């Protein structure tokens, strides 16, 4: 529960004079109510498990660390003055402790017996159990109470850390080049922004509390402390040696990757993500705050957050590429990573290609299909709507312009222009890693210098090589290769040309110097083999816009730019005027350099203006605002539900269901069944009374026996409602005389074995089947494991036994093709679980339900008990019609209604059973319920009769004697 509220709040029914007051919103603390004898207590909620930090507000004493037992003794003292205040304090304090070892209370549990506190004070927590199945929900009203807090989580905090070697004191400054810090300008001014991440320095454990306090108060940063071993395995191990190559389309057995999957590295990745989730959880207020998680280092964080905050507002943005399904599926922990992303409300990607690969992986590995809603790509993931957003990140315009305005930058620009006067200055800015393509860039330049003799003296390439982010022999190998090629080019052409064609700057460069090179360069070339986004072309274009002095002619001439970019970078689709190259082709790189050298000033100006307009309108502020808007919209679609979770750890699945949804109470059903006398059953067949896992699709003897017993009761009316055909259902259920059957989604209906089949409204001719069947047959020939089922009212294409991914893909194509050819026919095309069905409009199971209930009511037998069980999309129509008919004026009184789905999933039903194998036992219990009731009844009549007979015989004996 929240310990930092925006307004004073007094404990309910409390005589305590303390108030819950927000002391400092920036420090995220609040005072807890205590009895009048004690001063308010200042609480820091980000403390280790089972420890709460207290600081007496009226004293400057050091921070005290109190264990749970000591905290509880403080509660007991408060209880002496005010039981209500003590109860309130239990809620506020214990709810703030770490969930793994904290004590989870419900209000009823605390108020039920204060004697439990005595055991708590002694350290006994066994009485306080944790009900983990249900997750607290939140509402939009909660989010509107108080200022919004935005929590930005990334691997590293936007800080530069330095330690004074003389004093040993740490000093910190905000890193203005960090994206996380630049995002601040995209949020409302009144919003509080927190940064969660690791420091780029090793801090001794003895100093961590002091450093954390300083970072919290001064910079709004929450540090995540990872032990050096975990940090190395997490970042340099799993992230850099496995995820990063894989996400850049390198297979695990690639020669450049000498390490296969290591379970220890993945466990370190899980541990690190868990540490981040705990840090976020310690600062978030349920329903109030936005959590925005960044990049592949933290892909499990959304799952770990959902465990305790089922409907928290969580967004995730991936700044790297996402690989194709053929590559991604080689990841041994592929499902856990995918589910981690899907547990966010919005998943963001830079380009459609990355998003398309993600959608394909979700379909192939998890069987999920997406839909388009008003231009948004949306998954229905266990009842939650997950939006996939495509939006490339932008740059911070103000940051670049401020750097350009610095005197040092202006001087550096003059120096560079003077140094390379008369030459075409080509600039490359890349990290030194194996995928940046620096070697191919140099080889392309070498090819270029071999051919156009008249251009040799006009071109110079300045390559700025930023320090690598990873380590390993691959990085060193790439670095050595670049140096070797640069040296070879300079030796071959430098002496003849009188200058060095390649200037390699192999060191870290200050931001203002890098900006100066951007402003002075005539052309920028970035030809990475693969890159999530790469903002170098954006920065170069903006710097070229305002790189001149006061001279109007110079300013006009410098408002040109030339870009050569790889087609495999995330920024490539946004820069339509750039010269795109395949970096693997040295000839293409060389040709691009020659084309850039021959561009006219007018062409350069046109390209520059086009790029600059886009970059200016799609800056980081726009990117943040657009993502935050979609995150708010997606969250509002989910927040009016409650959540249940299944699974453990990173395998957690959060299922969002309506507020009145719950597991079917068998005892409650049996109780209502016994009390009522006109009972009606609607049962789906496939996936309900017959599990989908069964090879034999015909009903078993057990099912036949149970249904026979239910139908034998004259007060029961039972219908099997299925999409299967009349002949199949008639044959399977022939042993049951009184069973009603609604075949082909209810179009054909039969009340018993001896009655005639009734059909729905006239459907006209079925000439459209002659069009549909050949199309389905062609898809059957092309899809191994599929077949066509012909019914009187329609045609069904089954692909249960086909390859799941290919079958699903073929099903989508078939559905689209059928919708096109049947556009003018009164036919609907539906894609179900393993099927694509074409049938006349207006046929659904709900019509059969309406007909049965109306007939019973008109015959004077309105039902007072309705039980309906189904598992698929077609059964939702049945549930909806039952709800409507139960409230219809046709019925004299509203019956007891139990709508039940199979499996925990989003539905219009109010109840669920976990598996189809549980349906038959439920029916068995109902079939024997009345018989068991009769057995339990005493037999007073028979007993008294026998007693009277015995007494009569005794009287006769007495009289005769």
Identify the residue with better confidence: 718 or 95: 718
User: Which class for 497: exposed (0-12), middle (13-18), buried (19 or more C-beta within 10 A)?
Assistant: middle
Judged against a pLDDT cut of 60, whether residue 857 lies above it is answered with yes
* Strand 523-526 versus strand 424-431 pairing type: parallel
SS3 state of residue 923? helix
Residue written as token pair 């719950």: 662
Give Cβ neighbours of residue 386 (< 8 Å, ≥ 6 apart): 342, 344, 345, 346, 347, 378, 379, 380, 634
Can you read off the two tokens belonging to residue 630? 């979609």
Architecture of 397-549+558-617 per CATH?
A: 3-Layer(aba) Sandwich (3.40)
- Assigned CATH for 146-390: 3.40.50.2000
Tokens representing 921? 């036992």
Break the chain into its structural domains and give their ranges.
Answer: 146-390, 397-549+558-617, 660-762+843-932, 767-839
> What's the mean pLDDT in 363-371?
85
- The answer to whether 660-762+843-932 and 767-839 have equal CATH topology is no
**Structure confidence by residue, pLDDT tens digits, 609-645:** 999 999 999 999 999 999 999 999 999 888 877 777 7
The CATH number of 767-839 is which of 1.10.760.10, 3.30.70.1020, 3.40.50.620, 3.40.50.261? Answer: 3.30.70.1020
Contact 33, 74 (CB under 8 A): no
Q: What per-residue confidence (pLDDT) applies to 656?
A: 79
Radius of gyration of the chain measured on its C-alpha atoms: 36
Write the pLDDT tens digit of every residue in 487-530. 999 988 887 777 889 999 988 899 999 999 999 999 999 998 88
Of 526, 562, 509, 511, nearest in space to 401 by CA: 511
Distance of alpha carbon 69 from alpha carbon 64, whole angstroms: 14
Q: Where are the beta strands (DSSP E) in 157-220?
A: 159-163, 170-174, 192-198
Of 567, 558, 556, 551, which Cα lies nearest the Cα of 521? Answer: 558
**Residues 231-267: b if buried by 16+ CB within 10 A, e if exposed:** bebbbebbbbbbbbbbbbbbebeeeebeeeeeeebbe
Residue range 223-278, pLDDT digits in tens: 999 999 999 999 988 998 889 889 988 875 544 445 566 789 999 999 999 999 99
CB under 8 Å to 724, separation ≥6 — which residues? 685, 686, 743, 744
> Which residues does 136 contact at the CB level (< 8 Å), separation at least 6?
286, 309, 310
Residue with tokens 């408060």: 78
Vertex 841, ends 839 and 846: CA angle to 5°?
Answer: 95
Q: What are the structure tokens assigned to 270, written together?
A: 């899980």
- Can you identify the CATH homologous superfamily of domain 660-762+843-932? HAD superfamily/HAD-like (3.40.50.1000)
**Helix, strand, coil abundance in the chain, percent, nearest 5:** 45, 20, 35
Q: Which tokens sit at 392?
A: 């490339």
Residues 668, 568: Cα–Cα separation, whole Å: 61
| Planar angle of CA 478, 483, 486, nearest 5 degrees | 125
Please tell me what DSSP assigns to residue 159.
E
Model confidence, pTM: 0.71
For the chain, give the percent of residues with pLDDT over 70: 77
**pLDDT at site 121:** 36
Tell me what the mean pLDDT of segment 131-149 comes to: 48
Among left, alpha and beta (phi > 0; psi -120 to 50; other), residue 16 is beta
């Amino acid at each position: 529960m929240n310990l930092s509220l925006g307004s004073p709040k007094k404990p309910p029914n409390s005589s305590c004079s303390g108030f819950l007051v927000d002391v400092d919103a920036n420090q995220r603390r609040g005072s807890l109510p205590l009895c009048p004898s004690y001063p308010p207590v200042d609480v820091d909620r980000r403390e280790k498990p089972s420890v709460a930090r207290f600081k007496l507000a009226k004293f400057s004493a050091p921070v005290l660390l109190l264990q749970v037992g000591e905290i509880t003794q403080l509660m007991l003292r408060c209880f002496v003055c005010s039981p209500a205040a003590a109860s309130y304090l239990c809620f506020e304090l214990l709810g703030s402790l770490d969930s793994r070892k904290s004590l989870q209370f419900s209000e009823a549990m605390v108020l039920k017996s204060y004697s439990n506190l005595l055991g708590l004070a002694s350290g006994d927590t066994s009485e306080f159990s944790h009900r983990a199945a249900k997750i607290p929900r939140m509402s939009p009203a909660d989010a509107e109470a108080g200022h919004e807090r935005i929590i930005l989580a990334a691997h590293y905090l936007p800080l530069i850390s330095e330690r004074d070697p003389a004093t040993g004191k740490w000093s910190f400054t905000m890193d203005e080049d960090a994206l996380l810090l630049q995002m601040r300008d995209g949020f409302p001014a009144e919003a509080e922004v927190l940064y969660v991440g690791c420091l780029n320095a090793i801090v001794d454990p003895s100093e961590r509390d002091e450093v954390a306090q300083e970072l919290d108060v001064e910079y709004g940063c929450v540090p995540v402390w990872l032990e050096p071993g975990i940090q190395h395995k997490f970042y340099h191990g799993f992230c850099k040696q496995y995820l990063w190559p894989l996400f850049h389309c390198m297979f695990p057995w690639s020669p450049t990757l000498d390490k296969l999957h290591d379970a220890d590295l993945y466990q370190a990745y899980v541990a690190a993500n868990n540490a981040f989730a705990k840090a976020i959880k310690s600062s978030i207020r349920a329903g109030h705050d936005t959590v925005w998680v960044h990049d592949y280092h933290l892909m499990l964080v959304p799952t770990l957050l959902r465990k305790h905050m089922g409907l928290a507002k969580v967004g995730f943005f991936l700044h790297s590429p996402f690989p194709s399904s053929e590559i991604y599926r080689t990841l041994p922990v592929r499902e856990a990573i995918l589910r981690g992303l899907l547990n966010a409300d919005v998943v963001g990607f830079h380009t459609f290609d990355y998003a398309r690969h993600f959608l394909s992986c979700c379909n192939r590995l998890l069987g999920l299909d997406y839909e388009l809603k008003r231009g948004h790509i949306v998954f229905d993931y266990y009842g939650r709507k997950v939006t996939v957003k495509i939006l490339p990140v932008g740059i911070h315009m103000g940051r670049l312009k401020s750097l350009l305005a610095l005197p040092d930058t202006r001087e550096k620009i003059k120096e560079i222009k003077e140094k390379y006067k008369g030459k075409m200055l080509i600039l490359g800015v890349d990290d030194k890693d194996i995928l940046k393509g620096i070697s191919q860039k140099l080889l392309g330049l070498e090819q270029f210098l071999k051919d156009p003799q008249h251009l040799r003296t006009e071109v110079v390439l300045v390559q700025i090589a930023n320090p690598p982010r990873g380590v390993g022999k691959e990085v060193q190998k790439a670095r050595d290769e670049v140096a070797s090629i640069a040296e070879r080019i300079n030796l071959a052409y430098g002496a003849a040309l009188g200058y060095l064609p390649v200037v390699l700057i192999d060191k870290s460069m200050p931001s203002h110097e890098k900006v100066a090179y951007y402003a002075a360069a005539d052309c920028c070339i970035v030809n990475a083999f693969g890159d999530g986004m790469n903002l170098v072309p954006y920065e170069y274009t903006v710097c070229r816009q305002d790189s001149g002095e006061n001279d109007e002619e110079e300013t006009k001439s410098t408002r040109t730019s030339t870009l050569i970019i790889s087609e495999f970078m995330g920024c490539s689709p946004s820069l339509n005027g750039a010269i795109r190259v395949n970096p693997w082709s040295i000839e293409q790189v060389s040709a691009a350099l020659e084309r850039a050298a021959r561009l006219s000033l007018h062409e350069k100006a046109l390209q520059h203006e086009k790029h600059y307009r886009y970059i200016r309108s799609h800056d980081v502020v726009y990117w943040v605002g657009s993502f935050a808007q979609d995150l708010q919209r997606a969250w509002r679609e989910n927040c009016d539900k409650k959540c249940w979770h299944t699974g453990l750890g990173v395998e957690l699945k959060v299922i969002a269901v309506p507020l009145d949804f719950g597991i079917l109470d068998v005892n409650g059903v049996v109780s209502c069944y016994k009390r009522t006398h006109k009972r009606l059953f609607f049962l789906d067949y496939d996936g309900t009374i017959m599990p989908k896992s069964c090879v034999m699709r015909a009903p078993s003897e057990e099912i036949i026996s149970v249904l026979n017993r239910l139908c034998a009761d004259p007060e029961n009316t039972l219908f099997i409602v299925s999409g299967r055909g009349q002949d199949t259902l008639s044959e399977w259920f022939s042993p049951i005389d009184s069973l009603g059957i609604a075949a082909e989604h209810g179009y054909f209906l039969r009340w018993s074995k001896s009655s005639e089949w009734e059909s729905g409204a006239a459907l006209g001719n079925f000439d459209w089947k002659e069009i549909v069947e050949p199309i389905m047959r062609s898809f059957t020939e092309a899809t191994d494991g599929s077949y066509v089922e012909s019914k009187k009212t329609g045609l069904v294409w089954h692909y249960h036994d086909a390859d799941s991914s290919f079958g699903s893909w073929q099903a989508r194509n078939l559905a689209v093709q059928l919708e096109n050819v049947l556009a003018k026919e009164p036919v609907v095309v539906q894609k179900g679980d393993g099927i694509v069905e074409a049938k006349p409009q207006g046929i659904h199971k709900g019509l059969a339900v309406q007909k049965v209930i109306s007939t019973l009511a008109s015959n004077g037998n309105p039902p007072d008990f309705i039980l309906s069980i189904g598992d698929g999309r077609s059964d939702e129509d049945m549930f909806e019609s039952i709800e409507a008919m139960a409230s219809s004026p046709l019925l004299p009184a509203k019956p007891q209604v139990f709508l039940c789905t199979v499996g925990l999933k989003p539905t219009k039903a109010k109840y669920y059973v976990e598996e189809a194998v549980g349906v038959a036992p439920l029916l068995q219990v109902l079939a024997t319920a009345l018989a068991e009731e009769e057995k339990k009844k005493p037999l007073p009549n028979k007993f008294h009769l026998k007693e009277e007979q015995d007494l009569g015989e005794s009287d006769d004996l007495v009289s005769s004697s």
